[in-house]
A and B are shown apart, each in its own frame.
Chain A
Amino acid sequence: MPDFTLLPEQASTFAEKMDPLFYVMVLLSLFFIVLVFTLVIFFAVRYRRGSKASRRGASSHNVKLEIVWTAIPLILGLVVFFWSAKLFGYVRTVPEDAVEIFVIGKQWMWHMQHPNGVRENNELHVPAGRPIKLVMISQDVIHDLYVPAFRIHQDVLPGKYTYAWFEATKTGKYRIYCGQYCGTQHSEMTGFVYVMEPAEYQAWLASGGDKTRMTQLTMDEAGQQIYDRLQCGSCHGFAPARAPSLIDLYGTKAKLVDGRTVTVDETYIRESIVAPDLKIVEGYQAIMPSYKNQLSEDQLLQLIAFIKSLRSGMQAPIPKKEADSPAGGAR
């Protein structure tokens, strides 16, 4: 096995950073294993009953020695800890310019959606050399997205978005596993990541992912359709504001009636749609109905994409609160 390595193929920037730490830890472990095994075997043979080795001066305590062999593992352990914490910071801090792709886990499949609306199941096409952020949620039980070649593993929870990011370093086909036991067909909840050259990826996206494009709409366009159909604008769109404006909302801090402040992220927006009574923004009443059973996780993600796309200055798809039209007007 000439090219056998302990770790699988290395295909992400995180893999390149993690593997040296791993191999250093292997060397340190080997050192201690060899040390302990050698001493145990050596003492067992040399000091076997009846052997002539001198037992003079055997002592049964030595505080200095105890301090030394407490301190050395502790210091080495802390060095490894700091190194690993630094890398963990790297793998948990999503770069600003990452491309967002949405992942839904359900028993027992992975469902992915690209921002331009292209969808795929159990496959994920991504460009090499670009940071990719996965925004993930489960429709039922807890799942977990695992790509060994990227060394990433992240639980996928129901009711809450979790994130993972990676930057693939070389093109190829890599396995995706579900890494958290999720029921009967857990072991078949697998798939592949296809890492492509950026130009190739653009072509793939433009062609609607070869086959699976089900809608001509991008995610935020699809979200806007839902927004219109459900008449969200009847409250969020008007001047005598019964509800907060959604423009520029994403990423801000919302002050709640109970005094708490929350950051407006995907999980907060989702919760505000499916369980609006849980967090009421200061100055408003708990009048919003829950859309819990009317929207799939898919549609929720599209609505979120739409809300994230609402920026002041853009050609407003919904009227702004202040500059708004006469009551009942707008769309």
Chain B
Amino acid sequence: MSVQTATPGATEQPRTHYLNAGHTIASWLLTTDHKRIAILYMISITIAFFIGGAAAAMIRIELTSPTGVMLEHETYNKMFSMHGIVMIFLFLIPSIPAVLGNFLIPMMIGAKDLAFPRLNLLSWYLYMAGSILAVVAMITGGVDTGWTFYVPYSSVYANSNVVLVICGAFIVGFSSIATGINFIATIHKMRAPGLTWFRLPLFVWAHYATSIIIVLGTPVVAITLALVAVERLFHIGVFDPAQGGDPVLFQHLFWFYSHPAVYIMILPSMGVVSEMITCFSRRKPFGYNFIAFSSLAIAVFGFLVWGHHMFVSGQSVYLGIVFSVLSFVVAVPSAVKTFNWTATMYKGRIWFTAPMLYALGFIGLFTIGGLTGLFLAAMATDVHLHDTYFVIAHFHYIMVGGAIMGYMGGLHFWWPKMTGRMYPESWAKLAAGITFLGYNLTFFPQFIMGLQGMTRRYHYYPEEFQALNVLSSAGASILAVGYIIPLAYFLWSLWYGKKAGPNPWRAAGLEWMTDSPPITYNFEKTPIVTWEAYEYPENEEDDPLPDLDDEDQLLAVGSGEAPKR
């Protein structure tokens, strides 16, 4: 055991860390510190989340009545388009990678920063430029194509700000690509001495797989959207059949990116959950290699199943069959991960903290989301379920139940590392419970509606669906509370939270061996890794855990300590 930087009960010396290293606006806007850029991203995507959430609220209010409450058809269509575009392109895709990945990957691998710090800052500026353009275009004129921009509606018929929003999405795409390249280079080249590939945290594996998808997929959607803009502006026929184009080609190109994009959203979350389950079960993950390789398998197979969105689009039956069988195959690595997480808890020592509750919530909701996906991968059932609320429920279980539960859990888990402060644990548990409950109340009824035949993107709907819609809207208001409470206590904790110390969870990753908040270059001395990932003590007696409400106990472990083993 090495240096103790904090003595229990002693007042701490003010230390220099990344947050107080500079106080000017310029020190933030021109920073190349991955941790500060992560914070910039966190603030930006939180704003995006609440913009997308406001649009969702409008949708849910509108759907409490079969003929709407206050909006025109056009406004309603612009609302669900804005909801989808903001939530997917501006919130979910950047969420975990650009915030938690950005902050943690260099620390987890014992590096001072990402491989290309200025590219990292550029990626945030691209994100901001694209997002502001898209949001301003959506608020001033709106866009009514849905986030899928299907042609020829988007390229010929829509009377809205399609081109500006596409430009926004195009620019944001490059911010994603910059982040992906940065992660790949960093993970390959900047690992600390002794940190072999199979000693990497699973979080890093998940981000490696995600980055591969980002780098290979995003250019395709960028070009596809650019072609829509070209067709719209210059009437050059690419997709519009009246000009000799092929609208189904658009769908192939769009889903070639957008299906793998669902893995861009879920894989990082799986990485987060792997970290939390192991830390709070106080043991090595069950089947480390299987979890790591299943991430790569998902990244590879994920590129071969895009046509399962197109079984009824008019594509060939034989093509449909190939896409269907591959979709069943790609489901297997996800199942394997779920079983491995479950097995990790077996003979563990489960510590019920708020992040662990989010991780358990993730497993439950992701299981439901994944299994319902099979109903859409099976062609015969998809013929009935395509574009109904069953699809909406399915992808919300994956993207909100999975990805956002992971993101929220990860924020709680690494909040003490990022800010040096603990959030209030009992409020956090309450919020996790409310989120889980509100979540199911919002989206479970949508499965039933969809099975009964309620079609998505419908402003008006038959009266028989009203009861379920009202239930879903009621659930959404509970869910909203589940998101607003953490916003409040996270802000509160910045001033009033207990000091966390370097390692409040007594967790085993390298990021926990440095100060909280970390110093600008992360480590005083580059660590030399001589141990496997996730080495937790065998016996409970050797593994004393702090009372999270007792600052002295939290601070009892200092910086620079390698995990016990």
A61 at the interface (CB under 8 A from B): yes
Contact B328 A78 (CB under 8 A): yes
Name the residue of chain A whose CB is nearest to the CB of B447: A6
Q: Does A155 sit at the interface, judged by CB under 8 A?
A: yes
CB neighbors of A among B243-294 (8 A): 244, 247-248, 281-290
A66 to B343, CA, bound (A): 11
A144 contacts B321, C-beta separation under 8 Å: no
State how many angstroms separate the Cβ of B18 from the closest Cβ of chain A.
33
Q: Which residues does chain B contribute within 8 Å of A83, judged by CB atoms?
A: 378, 380
State in angstroms the CA–CA spacing of A6 and B153 once bound together: 33
B47 within 8 A of A: no
Count contacts on A: residues with CB < 8 A to the other chain.
82
Q: Given the complex, which residues of B lie within 8 Å of A142, measured CB to CB? A: 150-153, 247
Cα(A61)–Cα(B437), bound, Å = 34
In the complex with contacts A80-B374, A142-B150, A18-B387 CB distance below 8 A: no
B530 at the interface (CB under 8 A from A): no
The verdict on B451 contacting chain A, using a C-beta distance below 8 Å, is: yes
Closest A residue, CB atoms, query B153: A141
Closest to A107 in B: B157
Shortest beta-carbon distance from A2 to chain B in Å: 16
B460 touches A36 (CB 8 A): no
Cβ of B381 within 8 Å of any chain A Cβ, yes or no, is yes
Among listed B180-188, B361-369, B403-411, B550-558, interface-contacting one: B361-369
Judge if B348 is at the interface, Cβ distance under 8 Å. Answer: yes
- Which positions 136-175 of chain A face chain B at CB distance < 8 Å? 140-142, 144, 146, 148-149, 151-155, 157-160, 162, 175
- B375 contacts chain A at the CB level, 8 A cutoff: yes
* Max chain A C-beta neighbours (<10 A), residue from B343, B351, B367: B343
* Any A CB within 8 A of the CB of B531: no
Nearest CB of A to B400, in Å: 18
B350 touches A48 (CB 8 A): yes
A47 within 8 A of B: yes
Q: Are A144 and B387 in contact (CB under 8 A)?
A: yes
A29 B374 Cβ-Cβ under 8 A:
yes
A317 at the interface (CB under 8 A from B): no
Q: Is the CB of B320 within 8 A of A74?
A: no
B427 within 8 A of A: no
The residues in A between 229 and 271 inclusive whose CB is less than 8 angstroms from any CB of B are: none
In the complex, the answer to whether B387 meets A179 with C-beta atoms within 8 Å is yes
Q: How far is the CA of A33 from the CA of B324 in the complex (A)?
A: 22
* A residues near B145, Cβ cutoff 8 Å: 181
- On whether the beta carbons of B352 and A48 are closer than 8 Å, the reply is yes
Within 8 A of B (CB), among A26-48: 29, 32-33, 36-37, 39-40, 43-44, 47-48
Residues of A within 8 A of B346 (CB): 43, 47, 58
Task: Indicate if the CB atoms of A88 and B350 lie closer than 8 Å.
Answer: no
**A32 and B383 contact, Cβ closer than 8 Å, known pairs A43-B342, A187-B457:** no
B460 contacts A148, C-beta separation under 8 Å: no
Enumerate chain B residues within 8 angstroms of A48, measured Cβ to Cβ: 349-350, 352
How far apart are the CA atoms of A314 and B213 in the complex, in Å? 60
Contact yes or no, A78 B325, CB < 8 A: yes
B74 within 8 A of A: yes
Beyond A77-B332, A85-B321, A184-B73, is A47–B347 a contact (Cβ under 8 Å)?
yes
Given contacts A69-B339, A158-B152, A175-B453, contact A43 B241 (CB under 8 A): no
Task: Answer yes or no: B230 CB below 8 A from chain A CBs.
Answer: no
List residues 90-122 of chain A with CB under 8 A from any CB of chain B. Answer: 91-92, 107
Asked whether B519 is an interface residue with its Cβ less than 8 Å from the other chain, the reply is no
Q: How far is the CB of B257 from chain A (nearest CB, A)?
A: 19
Q: Any chain A CB within 8 A of the CB of B335?
A: yes
Q: Contacts A155-B313, A185-B73; is A36 near B452 (CB within 8 Å)?
A: no
| Partner of B379 from A54, A66, A85, A178 at Cβ < 8 Å | A85
Known: A85-B324, A162-B314. A180 touches B387 (CB 8 A): yes
B451 touches A6 (CB 8 A): yes
Q: Which residues of A sit under 8 angstroms from B332, Cβ to Cβ?
A: 70, 73-74, 77
Q: What does the 1/0 interface line of B148-184 toward A look like (CB < 8 Å)?
A: 1011110011100000000000000000000000000
* Assembled-state Cα–Cα distance A161/B165 (Å): 32
- The B interface is mostly helix, strand or loop, or mixed, namely helix
On chain A, the residues within 8 Å of B331 by CB distance are 73, 77
A21: nearest chain-B partner, CB-CB: B380
With A47-B349, A60-B285, A140-B152: A8-B453 Cβ-Cβ less than 8 Å? yes
Does residue A81 face the partner (Cβ distance < 8 Å to B)?
yes
- Given the interface contacts A148-B384, A181-B153, does A58 sit within 8 Å of B347 by beta carbon? yes
**A residues in contact with B347, CB < 8 Å:** 47, 53-55, 57-58
Chain B proximity of A181: nearest CB distance (Å): 4
C-alpha gap A39/B349 in the complex (Å):
15
Q: How far is the CA of A61 from the CA of B157 in the complex (A)?
A: 57
Contact of A184 among B74, B241, B379, B386 (CB under 8 A): B74
Q: A47-B346, A140-B157 are in contact. Are A61 and B452 (CB under 8 A)?
A: no
Most buried by A among B350, B452, B453: B453
* Distance from B350 Cβ to chain A, minimum over Cβ atoms (Å): 5
| A158 touching B247, Cβ below 8 Å | yes
What distance in Å separates the Cβ of A312 from its nearest Cβ neighbour in chain B? 32
Distance A183 CA – B157 CA, assembled complex (angstroms): 8
A288 within 8 A of B: no
Instruction: Choose one: A8, A14, A77, A153; the contact of B329 (CB below 8 Å).
Output: A77
B9 at interface (Cβ–Cβ under 8 A)?
no
A144 CA to B309 CA in the complex, in Å?
14
Contact, CB under 8 Å: B241 / A160: yes
Across the interface, name the chain A residue whose C-beta is closest to B278.
A60
Min CB distance A219 to B, Å, is: 23
**Docked CA distance A275–B242 (Å):** 10
Nearest Cβ on chain B to A169's Cβ, whole angstroms: 16
Q: How far in angstroms is the closest Cβ of chain B from A102?
A: 16
Query: Which residue of chain B has the shortest Cβ distance to A275 in the bound complex?
Result: B244
A157 & B247 in contact (Cβ 8 Å cutoff):
yes
Please tell me if B461 contacts chain A, counting CB pairs below 8 Å: yes
Instruction: Report which of B324, B344, B383 forms a contact with A151, defined as CB distance below 8 A.
Output: B383
Q: In the assembly, what is the distance between CA of A25 and CA of B287, in Å?
A: 28
Kindly list the 5 A-B residue pairs having the minimum CB-CB distance in the complex, ordered from nearest. A159-B241, A148-B453, A58-B347, A87-B380, A84-B378
What would be 18 A-B contacts, judged by CB atoms less than 8 Å apart?
A6-B451, A14-B383, A21-B381, A22-B381, A43-B346, A47-B347, A55-B348, A60-B285, A65-B343, A77-B331, A142-B151, A149-B453, A151-B383, A152-B384, A159-B241, A177-B458, A183-B144, A183-B153
Q: Beyond the given A70-B336, A148-B453, please list 14 additional residue pairs across the A-B interface where CB-CB is below 8 A.
A: A36-B339, A44-B360, A48-B349, A61-B287, A84-B378, A88-B317, A88-B380, A146-B387, A148-B384, A158-B242, A175-B462, A178-B455, A179-B455, A180-B150
